[in-house]
Amino acid sequence: MNSLLIKNARIIDPVGSIDSTGDILVNDGVIAEMGSGIKQDASQTIDADGLVAAPGFLDMHTHLREPGFTDKEDILSGCEAASAGGITALATMPNTNPVADSPDTISYILDKAKSATAKVLPVAAITKGMQGKELTDFEALVKAGAVAFSEDGKSVSDSALMLEALKMSSWYNVPILAHCEDAFLSQGGIMNEGTVSEMLGVQGIPSAAEDAGTARDLAILLSAGSGAKLHICHVSTGNSTELIRAVKNLGVRVTAETCPHYFSFNDELLAQQDADYRMNPPLRSEQDRKSIIRGLIDGTIDAIATDHAPHTAAEKADFLTAPNGTIGLETSFSAAYTYLVKGGYISLFKLIYLMSAAPAKILCTGGGSIRVGSPANFTLIDLNEKWCPEPGKLHGKSHNSVFKGVQLTSKIKYTVYNGKLVFKD
């Protein structure tokens, strides 16, 4: 029997309302016992005195780039980066080549993930080829293993198709993950429209582009029926947060996520003209940043994801022409702990919930808890360790990190996936 014993950890499980010091015994990939003073001999023992044991995080918005763009990332390398960030499950978006719009592509992703160090949850395209013209076969894709549907980096421009997709979400109990953007308003922009874009003389992306897209999708949701499941991706503006808050107050089934960079930085960072700080939606104003934090505090924003978007150094070399996107798997918890918990905005308990149980609930995947009888997916964290992410030392193939050189507090020390130690710092 393969066994692992964690001793003297501070165990935090928001689902079970647990915050206590104790031991965790894992037998053959399953948590067999929890308590204090467990004495059973184990194949491996870790003294976790001074460390927090938290449920493995679920990142519900990533780009693993496989199939098709494996020079940037692949399923195995992306999961290695995830393990280094305490993430034991991650949803991968469909903008691959070929697009994840067929059961064969979903099966390919799941087959490649069998040997990965985290569970990969495929997100299928809403429309065939992500062309916005014809819905994919939701039933076949769900049967193949898709956990959600998205057009990823763009909106479904046809409102009638979006309405039909939301009705499908009710029938198959899968969320629509919406990138809310009015492309006519954002066309040609490479960063937030504001003082910095004017100073640099570059075209900006107005917050209205996201706000209009959010308002439209929320309006369509109101017509889609009570069972429809809309999830708003990577919220970056204060107005979008207000719109989501207002619709939630109507009792409508909508959830939302944001990313660490949106509550950590504002668009002043772009004055450095470094393309690693460019993503879509872009870093916004300081007022927007504060609004995102308020949305996390009051529950308007339900989860924290990364929108992990790896690109090669060559692609990111030119500020004006580089593709949008930043990596984030390895730094997500540390950044959130630094800016939200150490910043005094939310509790550690809530942060762990936002990164584990909350996304698991949205995607209906199970998990997000440490309890006897459940798969042993958890991470051990040193809350006091300070570190500065160095791009060349990060896991994964690409190094376009928005947190490079930033001092963060808290470090993932171990990650356990299905009872196996998959990361040790």
* Contacts (Cβ under 8 Å, ≥6 apart) of 54: 12, 13, 86, 352, 356, 370, 378, 379, 381
The helix (H) or strand (E) run that includes residue 19 is strand 18-27
Tokens of 377: 């997916």
Q: From CA 326, how far away is CA 78, in angstroms rounded?
A: 13
Three-state SS at 425 = coil
Between strands 30-35 and 18-27, the pairing is: antiparallel
Q: From CA 325, how far away is CA 183, in angstroms rounded?
A: 17
Looking at the DSSP assignment, which residues form a beta bridge with residue 258? 304
DSSP type of residue 135: B
Looking at the DSSP assignment, which residues form a beta bridge with residue 415? 379, 423
Three-state SS at 246 = helix
- Alpha helix positions (H), 118-274: 138-144, 159-172, 183-186, 195-200, 207-223, 238-248, 260-264
Find where tokens 């450095």 sit: 272
Q: From CA 265, how far away is CA 278, in angstroms rounded?
A: 12
Beta carbons within 10 angstroms of residue 12's beta carbon = 24
Catalytic positions, written as ranges: 307
Q: From CA 11, how far away is CA 14, in angstroms rounded?
A: 10
